[in-house]
Structure 1
Amino acid sequence: MSYYYESEYAVYRHLLNRTQVSPNDVFHLSRTKLLKDDSSPTHLTEGQMEFTFWDFNYQDSPRTRIFYRVKVRSDGSYSLSLNCIFGLIADSTKANPATGLATQINKQLLYPWHRAHPESGGIYLSYQPAEHIDNAVDLLHAITQLLDESIPLIDAAIAQMRQSFPSKPAPRLPQAPLPDTKSIPRPCMTAY
């Protein structure tokens, strides 16, 4: 059975409902990895999606981003994580907003971060509050809990970083008119 499409739809609707309640919580959702069943070209067995609420557009540290990831497994279970990638600049003599933001994220969010330094440079932080989530209802509850806990702290970390780098905004995604949630179709299996 394909759990990915139903999961993607449930997460999208959940985030859309959140945006209707809190208009500042505008999100961008994207698929990052999909694994298809060989017996059917439209049957996904596993996949992952990412969503974010911030728009980082730093010329001097282009890979900086903060996002949430949901992994959908073929057995219908899930995992959820908060991920922060801070790109570093080549000129180490210049002050770096990404490093400043990484420092503030560490101060504000007291999570047991998994830290890595990718080969391409930069800093990668990942926090996984739930390695194994059994069903979609528990997934949506875990998403709500993580967002309610982390968004205000990330916003505070960004505000602190902007004191040192006032020309480096990290704004929330811009508000846009919301679609009527009753008219949002279920994902079409053949459209993907």
Structure 2
Amino acid sequence: MLTFFTGADYPVPPEVKALIGDMERSIREEDFQSLAAIERYFGEIYWRMRRGDQLDAKRIVDAFLVSGQGTDFPFRTVAETFRMIETTMLPVVIPRGVEEVVARLAIEAIPSGALARDLQRHVVLVPEKARTRLIACGKAAFAAPEARGDQFCVLSAGELYHEDSGLWWEDAEYLGVEQTVI
């Protein structure tokens, strides 16, 4: 069963709104999970994006040249230009169960790479603005910035992380009980 809904307090992001329009245009009376319906849906997306030149807005395909004089495949330039996901995501360390590794961040003699490996299973990626807000609200901070700079942002508000659903960065401005006592 598939349920469509809208959140009253949260507007639909523009990227998703366009996909909803594609879905509405492609749904007909038959089963919308049928091969024909799926083909129509992706056809709608293709034609909408093709009209707006969104399929190759950065002109990556045009960078590859084949002519009578030879070929030019600028892989480095294309790799620097191409982004599967345009939103910058930044790491936040969830310190549950790795408190001693977080404490070792202050020891300059330990290579950052070794510490990063020890912490990698406890890192979540969040949008850049969300991490900035976590830091501004005092819910996260850079550990040992004098030794590591801005390399290891560590969550200090453990109540924002939930084992079943992950980090709730949207609640960064929420005041915990301990913050309401003067």
TM-score class normalised by the smaller sequence: under 0.3
Instruction: Name the structure where strand makes up a greater proportion of residues.
Output: 1
Structure-2-length-normalised TM-score: 0.22
Higher relative contact order at CA 8 Å, sep ≥6: structure 1 or structure 2?
A: 1
Instruction: Name the structure where helix makes up a greater proportion of residues.
Output: 2
